[in-house]
Amino acid sequence: MSTTLLRTIQLNQFSLLGTALIRRRSNNVSVRCCGSQTATTHEAKQTSPSRVAPKNHKSNKLDEILRDYEAVIGIETHVQLSTLTKAFCSCSNNYGSVPNTSICPVCMGLPGALPVLNSKVVEFGVRLGLALNCELSLKSKFDRKQYFYPDLPKGYQISQFDIPIASGGYVDLDIPLEFGGGHRRFGITRVHMEEDAGKSLHSDTGDYSQVDLNRAGVPLLEIVSEPDMRSGVEAAEYACEMQRIARYLGVSNGNMQEGSLRCDVNISIRPIGQAEFGTKVEIKNLNAFSAMSRAIDFEISRQALLYDQGKADQIVTETRLWDEGAQKTVTMRKKEGLADYRYFPEPDLPEVILTQEYVDSIRASLPELPEAKRRRYEAMGLGMQDVLFLANDVSVAEYFDAVIGKGAEVKLAANWIMGDIAAYLKNEKLSINDMKLTTQELAELIAAIKDGTISGKIGKEILFELLAKGGTVKGMIKEKDLVQITDPAEIEKMVIKVVSENQKQLEQYRSGKTKLQGYFAGQVMKMSKGKANPGLLNKILLEKLNAKD
């Protein structure tokens, strides 16, 4: 299961994920060691979300410095599309194949080979553009972005330059409570289609490099945000939402480790109140959301300190890498002026013309998106933590929706999914889609508890059986004879038997040791094999215990 899910699970009171919590804490520690901070839940609540003012008891001075500056963060996200074939040829698009086995004259850039656009790329571009509330260009085109590198077979990348397929959108998201909570809207500048380059593999000795072209020509959508983010947390949540949307739409697996979702962060800071932007630094090599958050906060501190020490001129336009080991950003390359990619329209591909009907049909086929889901769950009365947990992963959300669609009570369904089921999945390292418990059975289980057919305790037992082996609630109740005993006469019989067999305890009880009620209740429950309705049991038991002979 994804990092994001873990990240949210750890904060859920119903779950048992202490390890993730510890990791998060240890992250803070390590960040602290190198002089930066991450806003913690408690503190972030007190500060304005648009200000960079994380706190740390060890560096009050830095806090004071940071208070005077505002960070401006924009993100370029590359989403690798999960099309069956590459963007411009019919090579299959699988991650992890043996190097240079998924290649052909087109993606190798052999002389005379021509690109032919995979229409799925356009469809995915339109889907994502619509999901990000963008204006679509009914007429867009491809351009060549030119530079030399061994993993770029043609010497240019087919991309979109001045007319992207979608532009001018926004994304809404909710910041998790532990990071201060609140709703945000971040602008989307543009979404454009392009192809990926191959992979260069450099030998450890630096003596040689090898090129794997399996990835060359794999379709990407690049999403460029407005510079609307102000902190590491906001940036990481933005990236997280991109992953969520890509997964909801089914356009990408969004896997950061495999490089299916890659984020480049542009960051500058400026004194609060200043209108002009400061010098922009780009950070690459961010392959986890937490790393992104930490890298940005580190970079904000680094730049703020330079400002504060009167060394603002040392902030230069450059690309920095996040060094996970050292927990800091380091210079990768300084840019002397702007790179000139000599863009010009790709003459091998015709313009991309979309009809309104096509766009409308795709709009009609869009699934409910994360933001809509969150607002609906909220309206159903769920708390924000529950909302975020359930809406975070599209499979979980679909599961939840299916369960409540079958009549299960919302809060109960949420609690089962976020509690025992999530814990089980985590232990077993399973995805909710691989689980044997069907939505139908979970709905039945919840109904059976609610209408008193079985007790909550037995419900849990059944749950674990169903999770492990599958089957039906009805079948299991019947098979194991687990129907709750709600007949007062039957319970009374058992109570009488237990009371009469425990004269000694009865005397003690009656002489004031009323705590022994629990003992009797336990005995009766045992006799009923756990099936006695606990309410009835206790009611009858009290009557008998307190009865005067």
CB nearer another protein, residue 116 or residue 468: 116
CB nearer another protein, residue 22 or residue 201: 201
Which residue of 112, 273, 310, 325 would you call a contact of another protein, by CB under 8 A?
A: 112
Which residue of 84, 116, 138, 468 would you call a contact of another protein, by CB under 8 A?
A: 116
- Our finding on whether 218 is near another protein (CB under 8 A) is no
Residue 147 CA to its chain's centroid (Å): 35
For residues 53 to 92, the per-residue mask of contacts with another protein, x marking binding by CB under 8 A and - elsewhere, is: ----------------------------------------
- Our finding on whether 216 is near another protein (CB under 8 A) is no
- Our finding on whether 470 is near another protein (CB under 8 A) is no
Q: H or E element: which one contains 193? A: strand 183-195
For residue 458, give every residue at least 6 positions away whose Cβ sits within 8 Å of its Cβ, in sequence order, or none. 482, 484, 530, 531
Cα–Cα dist 388/490, whole Å: 46
The answer to whether residues 132 and 166 touch, using CB atoms and an 8 Å cutoff, is yes
Q: How far is the CB of 387 from another protein (least distance, A)?
A: 46
Cα four-point dihedral sign 173, 186, 329, 220: positive
- Our finding on whether 105 is near another protein (CB under 8 A) is yes
Which residue of 35, 109, 181, 488 would you call a contact of another protein, by CB under 8 A?
A: 109
Cα–Cα dist 221/202, whole Å: 27
The answer to whether residues 430 and 470 touch, using CB atoms and an 8 Å cutoff, is no
Which residue of 21, 33, 84, 114 would you call a contact of another protein, by CB under 8 A?
A: 114
- Restricting to residues 129-188, name those near another protein by CB under 8 A: 144, 146, 148, 150, 153-156
Cα–Cα dist 520/538, whole Å: 9
Which residue of 31, 39, 72, 117 would you call a contact of another protein, by CB under 8 A?
A: 117
- Our finding on whether 351 is near another protein (CB under 8 A) is no
State the burial class of residue 45 (Cβ atoms within 10 Å of its Cβ: 0-12, 13-18, 19+).
Answer: middle
Query: Of the candidates 216, 192, 197, which has an alpha carbon nearest to the alpha carbon of residue 140?
Result: 192
- Our finding on whether 350 is near another protein (CB under 8 A) is yes
Query: Of the candidates 439, 368, 378, which has an alpha carbon nearest to the alpha carbon of residue 408?
Result: 439
Which residue of 273, 347, 456, 512 would you call a contact of another protein, by CB under 8 A?
A: 347
- Our finding on whether 115 is near another protein (CB under 8 A) is yes
- Restricting to residues 420-439, name those near another protein by CB under 8 A: none
Cα four-point dihedral sign 49, 29, 33, 328: negative
Please identify, among the stretches 265-273, 316-324, 348-356, 539-547, the one whose residues bind another protein according to the rule CB under 8 A.
348-356
Cα–Cα dist 23/314, whole Å: 34
For residue 152, give every residue at least 6 positions away whose Cβ sits within 8 Å of its Cβ, in sequence order, or none. 197, 198, 216
- Token digits of residue 512: 């004031």
Q: How far is the CB of 193 from another protein (least distance, A)?
A: 14
CB nearer another protein, residue 89 or residue 295: 89
CB nearer another protein, residue 339 or residue 379: 339
CB nearer another protein, residue 99 or residue 534: 99
- Restricting to residues 248-287, name those near another protein by CB under 8 A: none
Q: How far is the CB of 150 from another protein (least distance, A)?
A: 5
Cα–Cα dist 472/495, whole Å: 32
Output phi, psi for 267, to 5 deg.
-140, 135
How many residues bind another protein (CB under 8 A)? The answer is 29
- Restricting to residues 323-342, name those near another protein by CB under 8 A: 338, 340, 342
Which positions touch another protein (CB under 8 A)? 105, 108-117, 144, 146, 148, 150, 153-156, 211, 338, 340, 342-344, 347-350
